[in-house]
Amino acid sequence: MKAKEEKIIKKNTILTIFSNSFLAAIKLVGGILGNSSVLITDAINSISDIATNLVVFISAKFSKKEKDKTHPYGHDKFDSMVSIFLGFALIVTAIEVGKHAFTTLYDVLFENLVIDVPEWYTIVIVGITLVVKESLYRITVKDAKKAASQALIAQAWDHRSDTLTSIGALIGILGATFGIGFLEPIASLFILFFILKLGFKIIKTGVSQVVDQSADDEQVKIIRKIVLDHEEVLSIDEIKTRQFGVKYYVDLEISLDKNFSLLQAHDISEKIHDEIEEKLADVIHCMIHVNPGEK
């Protein structure tokens, strides 16, 4: 299972690296030949994306290793740690977008900067970028679910942020074409806030998984219902859940009739255990402790 998940992550990341390399090349060449500084800036962003893609590729080897003696719960938290790194990378991207936008806006409004009119094919290049990036986003979201990978989820949102910056680039090129130079920096400033929001969201999710945050209330509610549907259970004494990567562990304490034999108590807890793991695909393992109770 882990080997299959590792293969999915690596296959997706290789596709992303080749795609980003292709986009970086056409944007850089198109920006230089087509008089578009905004396209050159976008090309630099694509080049920096390749570095983060390599981190995801390398991390797959560690995060999807099978359990061993020193890591009896597995290595999935490596995946969450990489997603935190990607979240910070998005924030850095947003800061760079913001710096470029403020500088350009200032120069246009107060320094009378005249932005060169770009060639028509720069619009085609941005269009190609939008199609490729949105396609990568959709593919990566699907692969992230198959591989149970928070790093791939973060990579998918990185694709979406690139789509947003490319929309800003498109607005900038159209603005320069029609003599409205301030359109691009203003659009970039709006896009900046979306990218920042994505970055902080990815970091928050990754940190939650690393520090063993509990599952959401809806999941706990489902667990509670499964347990109480077994009429032999007198009470639920404690429910504890903790995230581990994109999945989670469940620890339960239940009370059964103290007159039940050890075998009877074991059979009941085993049925509950199996039902929880069967109905909740995100549960890695369910541990149940039985307390003696009065009917």
Euclidean distance between CA atoms 26 and 124, whole angstroms: 10
- On whether both 167 and 191 belong to a single domain, the answer is yes
Which residue, 189, 210, 231, sits at the end of a domain? 210
CA distance 205 to 157: 13
According to the model, what pLDDT value does residue 108 have?
78
Measuring CA to CA, which residue among 244, 250, 261 is closest to residue 289?
250
Owner of token pair 């940190």: 207
Q: Which residues have CB under 8 Å from 257's CB, separation 6+?
A: 232, 234, 292, 293, 294, 295
Spacing of C-alpha 94 from chain mean position: 17
> Are both 17 and 121 inside the same structural domain?
yes
Closest by CA to 115, choosing from 179, 65, 64, 57, is: 179
Q: What is the domain count for the chain? A: 2
Q: 275 and 260: one domain?
A: yes
Q: Are residues 113 and 233 located together in one domain of the fold?
A: no
Amino acid in position 279: K
The pLDDT assigned to 148 comes to 81
Residues 51 and 195 reside in one and the same domain: yes
DSSP-H helix ranges across the chain: 2-33, 37-63, 77-110, 121-147, 150-177, 183-210, 217-228, 262-279
Domain boundary at 162, 193, 210, which?
A: 210
Q: For position 163, which CATH number holds?
A: 1.20.1510.10
Predicted confidence at residue 29, as pLDDT, reads 94
- What is each CA distance from 125 to 65, 104, 109, 162, 181, in whole angstroms? 40, 22, 28, 14, 20
Q: Distance between CA 262 and CA 258 in Å, rounded? A: 10
Do 79 and 166 share a structural domain? yes
Cα torsion 5, 10, 15, 16 to 10°: value is 100
Is this model's pTM higher than 0.75 or not? no
Q: Assess contact for 255 and 235: CB atoms under 8 A.
A: yes
> Based on the domain organization, do 235 and 133 belong to the same domain?
no
In CATH, what number is assigned to the domain containing residue 282?
3.30.70.1350
If asked whether residues 99 and 186 sit together in one domain, one would say yes
Whether residues 149 and 250 share a domain: the answer is no
Per-residue pLDDT of the chain (295 residues; tens, 9 = 90+): 667 888 898 899 999 999 999 999 999 999 899 888 778 878 877 888 888 888 888 777 777 677 777 877 777 777 788 888 888 988 888 888 788 778 888 887 887 777 778 888 999 999 999 999 999 999 999 998 888 888 888 889 889 988 988 888 888 888 888 878 777 777 777 777 877 888 888 888 888 878 888 888 888 999 999 999 999 999 999 999 998 877 889 999 999 999 999 999 999 999 999 999 999 888 889 999 999 988 7
* Domain range for 56: 2-210
DSSP state of 258: T
166 with 229, same domain: the answer is no
Of 185, 210, 235, which one is at a domain's C-terminal end? 210
Do 63 and 85 share a structural domain? yes
Kindly state whether residues 246 and 194 are assigned to the same domain: no
pLDDT score for 1:
61
Burial-class residue 251 by CB neighbours within 10 Å (0-12, 13-18, 19+).
middle
